[in-house]
Amino acid sequence: MLATRDPILGFLPANLVLLLAIVVAVGLFARSAYHLYRLVRLGRPEQRTDHPAERWDAFLRHVLGQGRLLREPAAGLMHALIFWGFLVITVSTAEMLLGGLIPGLTFGPLTANPVYVLLLDLFEVLVLASVLFAFYRRLVVKPSRLSYTGDALLILGLIATLMLTALLANGLRIAYASEPLDPWAPASAALAGALGDLPAPTQLALHKLFWWAHVLTVLGFLAYLPHSKHLHIVTAPFNVWLRSLAPRGQLPYLDVEAALEQDQPLGASQIDHFTWKGLLDTYTCTECGRCQAACPASISGKPLSPKKLILDLKEHLLEEGPARLHGDGEAHPGKQMVGEVITDEVLWDCTTCRACMHECPVFIEHVPKIVDMRRHLVMAESRFEPEVQRLFDNLEASGNPWRLPRMVRGDWAKGLGIPTMAESPEIEYLYWVGCAGSHDERNMKVARAFARLMQQAGVKFAILATEETCTGDPARRAGHEYLFQTLAQQNVETLNRYGVKKVVTACPHCFNSLKNEYPQLGGTYEVIHHSQFLRELVEAGKLAPSKALEGAVAYHDPCYLGRYNEVYDQPRGVLEGIPGLELREVPGCHRDRAMCCGGGGARVFMEEQRGRRINHLRIEQAMAAQPRTIATACPFCIIMLEDGARAKGVYDDVPVADIAELLVRSCDKKS
């Protein structure tokens, strides 16, 4: 290799100098990487290698294909070009290092192949252009979601240096050796042409300079990586491959009694209470802020930023981890993770809407961490606002969040001729009404509308009435795993006693718990959301919406129906099937990117003390579609949106309705 042909300073064998530089850089990298690996091993065990086919599929789509990054076209393409460029260029870099160590060693047919030569040349220019764009984005455009650190600029500078030095070293080598200009390497050929007039000794000296600058930058980059957010280059592919394959709406099961018996933590109060994958997440954060830009708590000015939460946990792991590795974590207590590093306010601000996890290009799992820390607050510390206490007390005392008597749970159905399971145990469908449909005046109307539609369609269904109790969803999301399991077990016993197979419900929270979480407790059913059911009934001709309703309707996607369970088309289908209605999307925030109403994660039962109100913001977003009605398919969204509409003064002109209420008006000849 030309650059390492002659000794340095006339006596130092160049390949020995190179070897020394490689040993130092790889050694520094390996030492830091091993330290980080040991810190990750502090986490609790977790199985994440099942279903390899599904994992490789995600790897292909989201690592090699850069799928989630490309959701944002400009930033995504910028990154994809850098990433794909590195895949191509790394082969040539490895060849450079090997050839520098052992003269004459090359990868032969691979790197001599004209297609590879062209790709290498092209990507060196494209990576350089992408890095210039990244500089422009950071220094001029300045999107608010990014973190503005010296680290980010340093890495961009290093990558630009890598590309420039590679191109210049190559161009000067071609010029010096008077090689024929390769049409497959247009950029290097153009540089060689431009530098061809320099005296040969200068060409050689500059070639050596850029070659060494390139090689030393690569090695410096390697040694620096573990100390930078660019550690993601190494961890992101693993993090994507190791992502959770559990149903999206299923929180991890915690055996509370076993934990108490064995003196195990209830939730997470220390960094090593997370699993090893939870800790790997923290290393992988690229600080892109996509989670924060989608988070309703951050958007409404609350202290919670999902990005900051992950970065704070990383910093805490790096600070506290070493003491725990040496077993003296308890003896030298540093900052409290829950309360100091992550404040109680931050934890309670989360609506568990999953927007953060849906946006994160490297599949970081924020919600389970937040709920794990809430579990500690609730079950170990009993530290929460009085309204959360009230929620738990009410659920325990009467099986609903409002402490209404259990005996009135079926009263909404009085006079409608709906049998109970006790009366008709053989019936095909169980209509799971949920607490809101059973007890909240506004949502009782939805329950009646849906029941009426099922009756019109000739569906044979029954309700549990007084035998139904809250699914436990708000308790689980608020961190009271024990209460969730108590309520859920009670329901599973009831459902299994009746041999229930098919459950239909109008509440996405009940739908999600029954479908995705009850199997953890031995309850497995076919669970159908009313939007799916109604759409099927209309398609099958069992319901015939014929009366025209007027005006534009904006549909609000409930998080637990949309992002958690991917039910987007059916509620829209129901609305589109109603003559006269014009379905409009909430501009920029619909389907998987819809913003939460503010009510998820038990927040509907809590005061919103910080920042702007999320439901007010959501109404403002919906009003941008200029609707006559705002439709949704979730009782808690109805409560939150109606409250928001009242506050924004649009309640009388733009009513909020469930899709069943609109459909029944179109189907019902009498109304």
Residues contributing to the site for ligand HEM (CB under 6 A): 62-63, 69, 72, 75, 79, 82-83, 86, 134, 138, 146, 152, 155-156, 159, 232-233, 236-237, 240, 286, 288, 361-362
Q: Which is nearer to ligand HEM, 228 or 489 (CB)?
A: 228
CA torsion 276→277→280→282, rounded to 10°?
A: -110
Q: Where are the beta strands (DSSP E) in 482-535?
A: 502-505, 526-529
Residue in 360, 457, 464, 630 binding ligand SF4, rule: CB under 6 A: 360
Between the CA of residue 207 and those of 127, 143, 210, what are the distances in Å? 21, 39, 5
Tell me the closest approach of the beta carbon of residue 465 to ligand SF4, in angstroms. Answer: 34
Tell me the closest approach of the beta carbon of residue 307 to ligand SF4, in angstroms. Answer: 4
Using CB under 6 A, which of the segments 181-189, 256-264, 279-287, 653-661 binds ligand SF4? 279-287
Q: Is 250 in the site for ligand SF4 (CB under 6 A)?
A: no
3-state secondary structure 563-591: CCCCCCHHHHHHHHCCCCEEEECCCCCCH
Residue in 285, 371, 373, 583 binding ligand SF4, rule: CB under 6 A: 285
Using CB under 6 A, which of the segments 201-209, 288-296, 433-441, 522-530 binds ligand SF4? 288-296
Q: Cα–Cα distance between 667 and 385 in angstroms, integer? A: 45
**Of these partners, ligand HEM, ligand SF4, none, which one is at the site of residue 356 (CB under 5 to 8 Å by kind)?**
ligand SF4
- Which residues lie below 8 Å from residue 517, measured CB to CB, with a gap of 6+? 249, 250, 251, 476, 488
**Of these partners, ligand SF4, ligand HEM, none, which one is at the site of residue 291 (CB under 5 to 8 Å by kind)?**
ligand SF4
Tell me the DSSP string of 143-175: -TTS---HHHHHHHHHHHHHHHHHHHHHHHHHH
Residue in 99, 289, 437, 508 binding ligand SF4, rule: CB under 6 A: 289
Tell me the closest approach of the beta carbon of residue 349 to ligand HEM, in angstroms. Answer: 24
Using CB under 6 A, which of the segments 150-158, 189-197, 344-352, 580-588 binds ligand SF4? 344-352
Between the CA of residue 500 and those of 399, 417, 422, what are the distances in Å? 20, 20, 12
Q: Is 306 in the site for ligand SF4 (CB under 6 A)?
A: yes
Q: Which is nearer to ligand SF4, 40 or 294 (CB)?
A: 294
Q: Is 430 in the site for ligand SF4 (CB under 6 A)?
A: no
Q: Which is nearer to ligand HEM, 157 or 339 (CB)?
A: 157
Q: Which two tokens stand for residue 383?
A: 């530290």
Q: Is 347 in the site for ligand SF4 (CB under 6 A)?
A: no
Residue type, 176: Y
CB atoms within 10 A of CB 29: 18
Interface characters, 101-140, with ligand SF4 (x: CB under 6 A): ----------------------------------------
Tell me the closest approach of the beta carbon of residue 503 to ligand SF4, in angstroms. Answer: 26
- Which residues lie below 8 Å from residue 634, measured CB to CB, with a gap of 6+? 507, 508, 509, 558, 560, 561, 597
Residue in 78, 81, 310, 561 binding ligand SF4, rule: CB under 6 A: 310
Question: What are the residues facing 213 on neighbouring strands?
Answer: none
**Of these partners, ligand SF4, ligand HEM, none, which one is at the site of residue 271 (CB under 5 to 8 Å by kind)?**
none
**Of these partners, ligand SF4, ligand HEM, none, which one is at the site of residue 354 (CB under 5 to 8 Å by kind)?**
ligand SF4
Q: Is 474 in the site for ligand SF4 (CB under 6 A)?
A: no
**Of these partners, ligand SF4, ligand HEM, none, which one is at the site of residue 351 (CB under 5 to 8 Å by kind)?**
ligand SF4
Q: Which is nearer to ligand SF4, 230 or 307 (CB)?
A: 307
Strand, coil or helix: what is 671?
coil
**Of these partners, ligand HEM, ligand SF4, none, which one is at the site of residue 189 (CB under 5 to 8 Å by kind)?**
none
Tell me the closest approach of the beta carbon of residue 244 to ligand HEM, in angstroms. Answer: 16
Between the CA of residue 552 and those of 132, 555, 580, 586, 621, what are the distances in Å? 45, 10, 9, 11, 15
Q: Cα–Cα distance between 53 and 245 in angstroms, integer? A: 11
Strand, coil or helix: what is 479?
coil
What b/e string do you get for 271-310 counting C-beta neighbours within 10 Å, with b at 16 or more? bbbbbbbbbbbbbbbbbbbbbbbbbbbbbbebbbbbbbbb
Q: Which is nearer to ligand HEM, 101 or 158 (CB)?
A: 158
**Of these partners, ligand SF4, ligand HEM, none, which one is at the site of residue 367 (CB under 5 to 8 Å by kind)?**
ligand SF4
Query: For tokens 């007390």, what's the residue?
Result: 393
Q: Is 291 in the site for ligand SF4 (CB under 6 A)?
A: yes
**Of these partners, ligand HEM, ligand SF4, none, which one is at the site of residue 459 (CB under 5 to 8 Å by kind)?**
none
Q: Cα–Cα distance between 665 and 210 in angstroms, integer? A: 75
- Which residues lie below 8 Å from residue 481, measured CB to CB, with a gap of 6+? 254, 256, 266, 267, 375, 379, 475
Tell me the closest approach of the beta carbon of residue 79 to ligand HEM, in angstroms. Answer: 5
Q: Cα–Cα distance between 484 and 159 in angstroms, integer? A: 51
Strands 551-555 and 526-529: unpaired
Question: Under rule CB under 6 A, which residues in 363-402 are in contact with ligand SF4?
Answer: 364, 366-367
- Which residues lie below 8 Å from residue 575, measured CB to CB, with a gap of 6+? 553, 555, 581, 583, 631, 659, 662
Residues lying near ligand SF4 in the complex (CB under 6 A) are found at 285-291, 294-297, 304, 306-307, 310, 350-356, 359-360, 362, 364, 366-367
